[in-house]
Chain A
Amino acid sequence: MIEIKDLHAKVEGREILKGLNLSIQPGEVHAIMGPNGAGKSTLSAVLTGREGYEVTSGSVTFEGQDLLEMDVEDRARAGLLLGFQYPVEIPGVKNVYLLKAALNAKREAQGLPEIEAPEFMKLIREKIKFMKMDNSFLHRAVNEGFSGGEKKRNEILQMLVLEPKLALLDEIDSGLDIDAMKTVAEGVNSLRSQERSILMITHYQRLLDYIVPDVIHVLADGKIIKTGDKSLALELEEKGYDWLLEGVA
């Protein structure tokens, strides 16, 4: 699905990613954990093509294509979708409008015709219900006045509608109470399939109780310093990161 090789990236002249390697196969769920400042957010920014992040060397291949050469929107259309840590508010733009525009942009890229209105509404209603959201939400402006939990649920809803090949979830659990997190996790779990991969970036082990990853990586100082299965998370919870960092420094 995605192959990251020796990725180096700078932000404001400072090197944050220092040779990161990561490979995810279709159907796998990976989690990246790590202390503050390890480069977690930089990784998601680089993968999605945010401005201000300079890749100095290394490569990222997504479905056989050179991801770093692609525009932001083309990455999304190709199936790489980011669940934002802090979803932005867009006054006046209704959710339903954004969803439709995004879905049609993707369909256009795939050579499909625009979705018919009744079909679209049926799809949306179904997903909304699954995310335990109210229909009125469709006519509210994107994220405007949403609580933290609502915003995160909205991110997952977009994933359910847009069906990415690789879902990138940046701290999708931060700021959520336990119930909201369960709903979000349920949504994420329903995304799991043979064809789809998920990469979660998280700070807290708690999330991994609900979305159980196949592989866990520890990111520190711009590199993956340890990779293991879900038991690694428990170990981290118990001992913190220090025991790993000692080896690095």
Chain B
Amino acid sequence: MNQYAEAFEAFNRHAESGWLKSQRIAAFARFEHLGFPINGVEAWKYTNTKALAKRPFVLAEGYDLQAAQKLLNEAAVTLDSHQLVFVNGIFVPELSDLSSLPQALVVEPLSEALDKELELTCGMMGRLAGIDSDVFTALNFAFAGEGAVIRVGNNQVIDKPINLIHLSTASDQPQMSHPRILIAAGSSSQLQLVEQFVGDDEAVHFTNRVAEVVLERNAQLTHYLLETPGDQSWLIGRTQVEQQRDSRYGCHHMNLGGKLVRDDLVCDLNGKGASSHFSGLLFGRNKQHLDIHSLVHHNAPQTYSHENYKAILNDKAKGVFNGKVVVKKDSQQIQADQSNANLLLSDQAEIDTKPELEIYADDVKCSHGATTGQLDETALFYLKSRGLSDELARGLLTLAFANEVIDELKLAPLYKRVEESVAGHLPHQVDLEEL
């Protein structure tokens, strides 16, 4: 804890006095009070943060532009987009591109927004994920200074996606970053957001990111989350979404591995007709630990949620899926379904899954299913009887298992990247070029 106290002291000292400064102090006190979830916390039953708690991290003070450029070129997905790039938590204007922003769209780094529009920005911050939230959110708030602010005006359909790229490069000392993403989508607006966490395998980094998303009436956000923080890095993320009437939120979450990756995805469906759609893939190998906790609150009648997560785990990787749907009293005519299918490719891989339902209304149709199994032997036989090698047949079937969720990536470069990554890291590799 000490190292955090020191870092916090240094970080907050420069801050102007006022609301933000006092909030940060309160947030840090909350973090110290709660501590890392080590024992007996149900939400962290299967995920151990001991090693993370022990590791001392510092805030980055600068970056190596060349290394960042290299990582960006080699490992991140770039597309025709409004692009913001961060390296180890610091905004990099040289790699960012905001040249074609339309009038009704604001995309800017949080630091800049705090400079220019302090009041407005502070009004967006902590509204959904405030200091009284969980320990990591409190920690994020304490160090909240960088990230992104995105605002879309009413009725605006934004064609080009927004691409937020968080890079982590190797450094002398383990570093941490606490990006906060604030999104406000006006009524009937439409937006696509790509968020990528790309880490150098040599880097030891702790990313603790929080996103707060407000969707006004009939707004639509498609959110692509691509996570490859690197073999030695921790990534903890919270996405907190508030949805008004008829709004639609889609999250396509590709967790392709890291030392420990934990995501909390929370949607509050507050207006009639609002819907959320989560689809995701946990793809783990070596000793990676991948954890997704989703929570949907049906707070209004006629709200809909759909969730489909797949996990493919190899070697000694461990996956955790916890999906929860809560239907509030008087929220009638609800439809919610959840499905979680897991494929264990090795005897030492493990999956812990818990699809939960908590229902306090009666006119509901809720279902969940969870399955864990192996590749279908009859399908395998079928492919081999057509002349495919055992290796290729297994690889193809594994890829096919993930396809249902990968197929939902509507941005071609993203789709390609994920497919290649999965195919290339299978124990039975599939060379897509050859097929």
A and B touching (C-beta < 8 Å)? no
B residues with a Cβ closer than 8 A to A are none
Instruction: Report A's interface with B, CB cutoff 8 A.
Output: none
